[in-house]
Structure 1
Amino acid sequence: MFDGMPQTGPGFEFEAGVSPWAGLHPDILGFVLRFLPCLADRARVRCVCRHWRAGGHGHVLPPPLPILVLPEFKFSSLSIKGDLMLVRQVPVPREVAADDLRCVGSFDRWIVGVTPSMDRSAMYHRDADGKTFLVNVFSRKVIRQPQLSSYRYNFSAHSGEALRILVGTPYISPLRQVVLSNAPDSGSKYIVAASSNHKGARHLVLWQPGMISLHICSAAVINGPIDLTFYQGKLYVLMRHKVHLFTCELVDEVSCVELCLTELPNHPSQEGGAIGCNVVVWRGELLLIIRRYIDDFQNSQVLKVEVFALDVNTTLYGLTEIHSFNGDCIFVASGGCKSFPAGLYAGFERDLIYFVPDYCKPHDRFVYSMRDGRMRPFAAKLFDCYFAVPEENLDFPVWLLPSE
């Protein structure tokens, strides 16, 4: 589906000379690929034969439309009309069990997956993670990650006191969200940051290549669901239900951490009602996305969506409400929020925010228009079937925005 490898089977490939199409000029193939915004369609072109596969590479193409990663390593690409296409399952590496894999984050072509832990009686722990992987969905390369470390040290979010991260003994804990500072195959050093929920307590987890285990930063002020993003060399930690923002200084890579709380100015969304917050990097700016709800014990109806640009260059961050993404779209999920240059494709609706279910707001499945404030359902049939599975097996989708 992604790498365009030719399918096996007699008579599938045609050889050069058998059909005049086999010798199609590479420039023509590149021209055709530019009109195919879906990655699966581009792969279909490349998998026709080895000549098309060779000729289809090496072209500068706009990034493909976002892909939604579903349970069991299933994928659905967004169409030019803004709907989800047919769900397809992608072969997974032998090291990864697709039935047990839970996706908790993504970066470019990489997906972060976890599998359930095994207890002594060889039964799965659905509320704890065992193995953690970084999986490249194109090359199927797997980077294994160690388990979490049990050593935790408290620190004050206001004092900026340094926290020393030490190696400890492993213990089981579920990861909720994982973000990467860079792609593992980018040639640059990268850091993995994650939100962990251990025995009802939230922790910030950090790791980078060379460390023998994942490590936990514990702070009493992080007492609820959080959203994570890397921005201008720092890690930003947002309390999703309180609109509290923390700046994490990674001093000497991740061997030393300073966590500082920054008060955000009051705004209408802080007055009554439940709220859900996310943070995303868009065109060099840090944006705060706020959903305001009415709670009725059965469902949470979204009343309003607000988007603010954060000024992080001042001691007290300033908020400026915005009503346009200049033609771009934002994709929100529990595995992290991402922006996409929707204006590259004619006919694709712009200035939208796509919300899909996550572990905090499992009923959110709608599209919000920044231009007129309207909301419409998104992929209702898909998510209705998705929520028919038992709660203990419930997984939440992750947006994948690979570069071409």
Structure 2
Amino acid sequence: MPRQPRRRVRLRARARARARARYPPWADLHGLIVCEILRRLPCDIDRENFFRVCRSWNDAIGLEGIPLLHTPRQLPFLMQPLAEGPIFCCILSGGASHPFPTPMDIPSAFRHARYVGTCGDRMAFLSIFDQPQGIPQQHVVFDLLELGHYKLPSIIVHDEAAPGELEQQVQQRWIRPFSIIAATLSTGVFKSGCVVGGIIKLFHFPDEHRPKIAFWRLNDEPVMGYFDAPEVCWEVEDVLFYNGAFHFLTQGEHIRVGAPAFHVGGMTQVQWENRYFSPGNRAYEQYVKARYLVESRGDLLLVLRCSPYPGQPTSAFKVFRMVQPEVPANNNNVVEYKWMELPSLDGRMLFVGRGCSKSYEAAAYPGFESAIYFCDDEVVALQYPCTDCGKWTEAPPRVVRCFPEQHPSNYSPQVWINP
């Protein structure tokens, strides 16, 4: 009788051995199979998580003689501002959210900040608001990988003429808080001479609803001066650093090109070039919700986001390319630029957002096609709807809702986070 339990133990051991022979442990996968799995993970974060699954898998990748295919650069992440904090959705992973970081990893002071845009290397411009008054307490560049931050100015100094005789007007210096609507950098954050070009809103100002232009360096405090639009058609909507200068897109679809110069204790000086674009045959059957500037294949593109009527979801896009000007002989030598509509996206994948639009080539991403990806950056009565996002394809022309649904946010719009 005592031998029967031992016999059962031996039988079970043999059964386990046969099972291991038939179904070997995941850790024993051949290196080539491990590499094949890795090739099917185009997202950087998925690949980083892959290496943490099993030590033997990590070792297999490093074995000599196992080639790894080149993977295309990471596509932008969509930041969705949920109630518990922001999450980040990855297009390469089918719209799945990635905890890089999780909402609880983000410092509490930044967890419900307003995301203004991105400045590359998974860094974002944030505005931290004083909720009762709705005035930003500070602006920062937030590093989503290292969870560190770099302080930006939150007040602006500007000169105004004091009341009096025209010949004896005296400049008075004012200090006011401001918020950033959109911004971009001239170079990387850590590079010498980095300048921020921003579209801002002033507080406690007679026409505070009208956007202004401002420039500053990362270590400046405060911002020295701002620049206003001479007419409504020159009010700015988007900004892009292109060909060594800041390009500001206006409501009239003109461009203001600015190259700032800074002086200790003095107002910022800017060399401006106002580029007038003739209307030509541009006529839009739908309402233009937003306008964006995108650099693609060395060209400057104008992207229009349209809907049937104001307040309705995005339904269509139009894309134009800037055409180099000719000086007319009979127009007082006024140089007129032109926007030429593109017949197709021609293999482009465009990600549009204020201050952070990017262009990618669909051919570099197997399974992807020409498309325009967009996020919901609207503000309605101090709320951010966060519902009008997705991608627009041209064959056939349609909008696809490819991201998880979310409720409106009370602290931030959606933005792209560029890798």
* TM-score, L = length of structure 1: 0.73
What is the CA-CA distance between 1:75 and the residue it aligns to?
A: 1.1
What does 1:2-13 align with in structure 2 at a 5 Å threshold? none
Higher mean C-alpha deviation, range 350-359 or range 241-250? 241-250
The amino acid across from 2:218 in the alignment is P
- Counterpart of 1:62 in structure 2 is 72
Contact 1:93 1:142 in 2 (8 A): no
- Offset of residue 188 of structure 1: 5.0
| Contact 1:228/1:279, CA 8 A, preserved across alignment | yes
Task: Write the mapping of 1:159-170 to structure 2, written as runs, cut at 5 A.
Answer: 170=175
- For 1:293 and 1:331, the matched residues in 2 are separated by 18
Match of 2:243 among 216, 232, 236: 232
Separation in structure 2 between the aligned mates of residue 305 and residue 327 of structure 1, nearest angstrom: 15
- Matched residue, 1:369: 393
- Deviations along 1:75-123, one digit per CA (max 9) or x if unpaired, are 111135xx42136461577766233321111122211111003xxxxx6
Q: How far did residue 372 of structure 1 move?
A: 3.9
Partner of 2:213: 204
| CA distance 1:137–1:303, shift in 2 (3 Å) | closer
2:316·2:398 contact (CA, 8 Å) conserved in 1? no
Offset from partner CA, 1:280-321 (integer Å, 9 cap, x none): 11121110012344336xx23556421111135664223222
Deviation at 1:56, TM superposition (A): 7.8
Report the counterpart of residue 264 of structure 1 in structure 2. 277
Give the Cα separation in 2 of the matches to 1:177 and 1:39: 27
Aligned partner of 1:220 among 213, 226, 229: 229
Aligned to 1:287: 301
How far apart in 1 are the matches of 2:179 and 2:359?
27
Report the residue type matching 2:49 in the other structure. R
Deviation at 1:235, TM superposition (A): 0.7
Whole-angstrom CA distance in 1 between matches of 2:60 and 2:224:
45
In the alignment, what sits opposite 2:291?
Answer: 277
1:309 corresponds to which of 321, 325, 328: 321
For 2:146 and 2:347, how far apart are their aligned partners in 1? 32
Q: Is the 8 A contact 1:178 1:193 kept in 2?
A: yes
Q: How many residue pairs end up in the alignment?
A: 351
* Conserved? CA contact 1:37–1:65, under 8 Å: no
Match of residue 177 from structure 2? 172
1:180-232 residue CA offsets vs partner (Å, 9 max, x unmatched): 222213x4532211211222121112121343323442213375451000000
SS at match of 1:41: helix
**Match runs of 1:5-404 below 5 Å:** 21=27, 33-48=38-53, 61-71=71-81, 72-79=85-92, 83-86=94-97, 88=99, 90-91=101-102, 97-109=109-121, 110-117=123-130, 124-126=132-134, 128-151=135-158, 170-185=175-190, 187-198=191-202, 199-221=208-230, 223=232, 224=235, 226-239=237-250, 241-251=251-261, 255-270=268-283, 274-275=287-288, 276-295=290-309, 299-300=311-312, 302=314, 304-312=316-324, 315-348=335-368, 350-359=369-378, 364-379=388-403, 382=405, 385-387=406-408, 389=409, 393-402=410-419
- Is the alpha carbon distance of 1:220 and 1:319 closer, same or farther for their aligned partners in structure 2, counting shifts above 3 Å? closer
Q: Does the 8 Å contact 1:22/1:49 carry over to 2? A: no
Shift of 1:244: 2.5
The 2-side partners of 1:150 and 1:278 are apart by 29
TM-score (norm 2): 0.71
Instruction: Quote the Cα distance in structure 2 between the aligned partners of 1:304 and 1:358.
Output: 16
**8 Å Cα contact 2:157/2:222 also seen in 1:** no
Please tell me the residue identity of whatever aligns with 1:279: L
CA distance in 1, matches of 2:215, 2:366: 40
Output one character per residue of 1:332-368: Cα deviation in whole Å (capped at 9) or x when no partner.
22453111233222112x2100122112696642422
Aligned equivalents of 1:398, 1:125: Cα separation in 2: 24
Q: Distance in 2 between matches of 1:272 and 1:321?
A: 14
- CA–CA distance in 2 between the matches of 1:108 and 1:272? 35
CA distance in 1, matches of 2:336, 2:59: 53
Identity, % of aligned positions? 20
Residue aligned with 2:139, SS: strand
Change in CA separation of 1:271 and 1:102 when aligned onto 2, cut-off 3 Å: closer
CA distance in 1, matches of 2:308, 2:48: 44
Q: Tell me, what secondary structure is at the counterpart of 1:42?
A: helix
Name the SS of the counterpart of 1:44 in structure 2: helix
Alpha-carbon separation, structure 1, partners of 2:56 and 2:159: 55
Larger Cα Rg: Structure 1 or Structure 2? 2
Distance 1:55 1:190 in 2: 42
Q: Structure 2: 5+ residue runs without aligned partners? A: 1-24, 63-67, 162-170, 203-207, 327-334
